[in-house]
Amino acid sequence: MVHPGHRQSRGLADSQAGDEKSDREMNTHHLTTSRTNPQFYIFSQLFGNDFDWNNCNWGGIQNVTWKEFWQREGHELLEQKWHKRFPEYKDLIEVVSSEEQGLWQELWEKHASDYSEKFWYIFSCAFENYQHDLAKSFGLDVAENSEDVEEDLQNLSLTNKPIKSKQQRVTEKEEDESYLTANDDPEDCDEEQQLRLLGLPTSFASKADIINYRKERKTQYELSSSDSEDDHDLLTMENNENEALHGVQSGSVKKKKRRQRQIKKLKARMPECMQEDNNKMVKYWVKRFSLFSRFDQGIRLDRESWFSVTPEKIAKQTARRLACDVIVDAFCGCGGNAIQFANTCGRVIAVDIDAEKLAMAKHNAGIYGVAHKIEFIHADFLQFAASTKLRPNVVFLSPPWGGPDYQKQATFDIETGLLPVGASQLMQLSRSLASDVAFFLPRNANMKQVVALSGVGQQCEVEHNYLDTRMVALTAYYGKGIIKGSVGEDE
C-alpha cells in the first residue's frame, strides 16, 4: 500500500506574493511501496546545448514513459499482486464452473483497475519530481520556470476512475516517508526517520486520532487484502500506532531503550564491517534486497560497497540499454553492474583497482550464475585504457563519487568530485576504446557539465532513475550506437 506524503517547495516570504506563486510552484512528493522492492521509473531525454526548458514536450515525455513502463512491467506487476492476494486461485481456476470463472474474471478486472490506478498515481508524482529535479540540475529557478502539470496528469489513465488532483493530494494525510537509497548519508537520517526505519512509534497518538487515521486510509485504498511485501510500511505504521496508544495509556513508553533493542537485533545479523560504525549502517542493511535480490544466498560486500553499489533494478535497465558483444565495466566494484551486463552482453570485461572488491565481484557473479561470462581484470582503468589493444563496443563508467557526502552539495561538480580523475578525462580515455560510452552519475550532477561531455554540437541521452518517487542517480549515454532518441518528440 502506498504512503502519500507532500512537501512544498520553498515559497516567498511575502504572503501576498505567496498566494500568486502557489499556482505555479513545483512540489516534491515522497511515496514508497517497499524498502526491499521499490518500484522503478525511468525518465529519458536527449539533451544538447540548445535545450529549452519552456518548450520541452512534457506531455509527450510523460505519456511515452508511462506506456513504456506499463508494457515492460505492468502485466507482471498485476500478476504478482493478484497471486499474493488470492493464493488459492491457481488451484481453483481449473475446477470451478464457468459461472465461477466469470466471477473471478470480474474480480481480476477490478484488481487490474485498482492497481493500475495506484501505479499511475505513484508515476505521476515521480514525473512531477523529475521536472523539479531536472530544473534544479540545470540551475533553473524552479518556482519561476516550472509549469503546473496537473492538466498533463489527466491525459492518460488505464481506468475510468478520476485521478486525484494536486490539491486533493496536498490535503491528504502527510507522512513525508522517503525511500532510503544506497547513496543517502546515514547521518542525514534524523531521529524520527530512524524510529520509522526501525518500526518504532514516531509520535504519541490518541485513540480518536488512530481511528480517524484508519478511516482515512480505508477510504483512500479500498483493496480487499494486504500484500505481504508492499504493505509492509503500512502495517508497520499501524503497529506503531497501537504501540503508541498503549504507551500513552500505560505511561511507560521508553523510546530510547526500545530503539536500542531494535538496533541490537538488526546489528546481530549484520556483517562485522557494518557493526563497527555505530548505527550509521543500519539503513543500508534494511534495504539489502533492493541492492541484490539474491543477497541471502551469500552476497559479499565491503563497507564502501554498501553505499556505492548500483541498485539491481537500475543495473538491469542499464544492461538492457547497453546490450552488445563486448562491454568494459571500468569500475566494477563488487559487481552489481557487471552481473547484469553478463545477462545481455556476449562478453564482459570487469576492471577494478581493488583486488578484494574484484574477488567479491567474482564471488557474487557466481551466485547469479554468470561468472563464466565475465573476465575480471585487476588494474587501474586509467592505465588499462592507455595500454590495452581491446576495442569493446561500449565502455561503462561508474567511478567513485567520493562517498555519501556527495549529496550534501547542491550541485555535484563531475569534473572535481569524481575519483580518481574528472569526467572529461575519463570520457577521453573511454572514447579511445569505444565511440559509445555510458556514465553512471550522482542524482545532483551538474547537467550542463553532463551535456558538455558529448562534445560541441553533439547530444547525449540522460536517464533519470527513480525508485518510487525518489531519484537515485542518473545514467548518461554518449554515442550514436546507444542513444535511442528523444522521448515524446513525435507526440
> Where is average pLDDT lowest: 93-107, 127-141, 155-169, 387-401?
155-169
pLDDT per residue as tens digits for the range 233-288: 433 444 444 444 454 445 445 666 666 666 666 666 777 666 666 567 777 787 88
Taking the C-alpha atoms of residue 55 and residue 45, their distance in angstroms, rounded to an integer, is 13
**Do 200 and 265 fall within a single domain?**
yes
pLDDT at 207 > cutoff 50:
no
Nearest to 12 by CA among 28, 24, 1, 3: 24
Q: How far is CA 364 from CA 190, 359, 448, in A?
A: 33, 9, 36
**Do 226 and 331 fall within a single domain?**
no
pLDDT at 231 > cutoff 60:
no
Taking the C-alpha atoms of residue 293 and residue 301, their distance in angstroms, rounded to an integer, is 14
Describe the chain by its helix, strand, coil percentages, rounded to 5.
50, 10, 40
Taking the C-alpha atoms of residue 364 and residue 295, their distance in angstroms, rounded to an integer, is 9
Confidence band (pLDDT; 50, 70, 90) for 484? confident
Assess if residue 314 is contained within a domain: yes
**Do 152 and 26 fall within a single domain?**
yes
Taking the C-alpha atoms of residue 110 and residue 378, their distance in angstroms, rounded to an integer, is 54
Assess if residue 157 is contained within a domain: yes
Assess if residue 136 is contained within a domain: yes
pLDDT per residue as tens digits for the range 351-375: 999 999 999 999 999 999 999 999 9
> Given this model, what pLDDT does residue 469 score?
86
Assess if residue 484 is contained within a domain: no
> Given this model, what pLDDT does residue 457 score?
85
**Do 58 and 37 fall within a single domain?**
yes
pLDDT at 12 > cutoff 70:
no
**Do 53 and 136 fall within a single domain?**
yes
Q: Residues 3, 233: contact at Cβ < 8 Å?
A: yes
> Given this model, what pLDDT does residue 260 score?
65
**Do 453 and 322 fall within a single domain?**
yes
Q: Residues 201, 244: contact at Cβ < 8 Å?
A: yes
Taking the C-alpha atoms of residue 275 and residue 283, their distance in angstroms, rounded to an integer, is 12
- Provide the domain count of the chain: 3
Region 197-211 average pLDDT:
41
Q: Which of 271, 291, 311 is the last residue of a domain?
A: 291
**Do 286 and 323 fall within a single domain?**
no
> Where is average pLDDT lowest: 19-23, 129-133, 378-382?
19-23
**Do 14 and 162 fall within a single domain?**
yes
Q: Which of 259, 291, 323 is the last residue of a domain?
A: 291
Nearest to 125 by CA among 221, 30, 39, 11: 30
Name the residue range of residue 143's domain. 7-181
Taking the C-alpha atoms of residue 479 and residue 437, their distance in angstroms, rounded to an integer, is 7
Assess if residue 483 is contained within a domain: no
**Do 436 and 390 fall within a single domain?**
yes
**Do 152 and 55 fall within a single domain?**
yes
> Where is average pLDDT lowest: 12-16, 73-77, 105-109, 432-436?
12-16
Instruction: Please give, one letter per residue, the 3-state secondary structure of 174-218.
Output: CCCCCCCCCCCCHHHCCHHHHHHHCCCCCCCCCHHHHHHHHHHHH
Confidence band (pLDDT; 50, 70, 90) for 428? very high
Length of the chain in terms of residues written: 491
Strand-pairing partners, residue 462, are 45, 476
Confidence band (pLDDT; 50, 70, 90) for 218? very low
> Where is average pLDDT lowest: 223-232, 259-268, 455-464?
223-232
| CATH label of the domain that carries residue 380 | 3.40.50.150
Q: Which of 133, 158, 181 is the last residue of a domain?
A: 181
Assess if residue 375 is contained within a domain: yes
pTM tops 0.75, yes or no:
no
Strand-pairing partners, residue 340, are none
pLDDT per residue as tens digits for the range 22-69: 333 445 676 665 556 778 899 999 998 888 888 888 988 999 999 999
**Do 117 and 48 fall within a single domain?**
yes
pLDDT at 476 > cutoff 70:
yes
**Do 169 and 82 fall within a single domain?**
yes
Burial of 314 (C-beta count, 10 Å sphere; 0-12/13-18/19+) = buried
Cβ atoms within 10 Å of 50's Cβ, excluding its own: 8
Assess if residue 490 is contained within a domain: no
Confidence band (pLDDT; 50, 70, 90) for 227? very low
> Where is average pLDDT lowest: 56-60, 324-328, 353-357, 416-420?
56-60
> Given this model, what pLDDT does residue 51 score?
82
**Strand 394-397 to strand 326-329: parallel, antiparallel, or no bridges (unpaired)?**
parallel
Q: Residues 269, 276: contact at Cβ < 8 Å?
A: no
pLDDT per residue as tens digits for the range 439-450: 999 999 999 999
Assess if residue 163 is contained within a domain: yes
Nearest to 436 by CA among 483, 479, 391: 479
> Given this model, what pLDDT does residue 229 score?
38
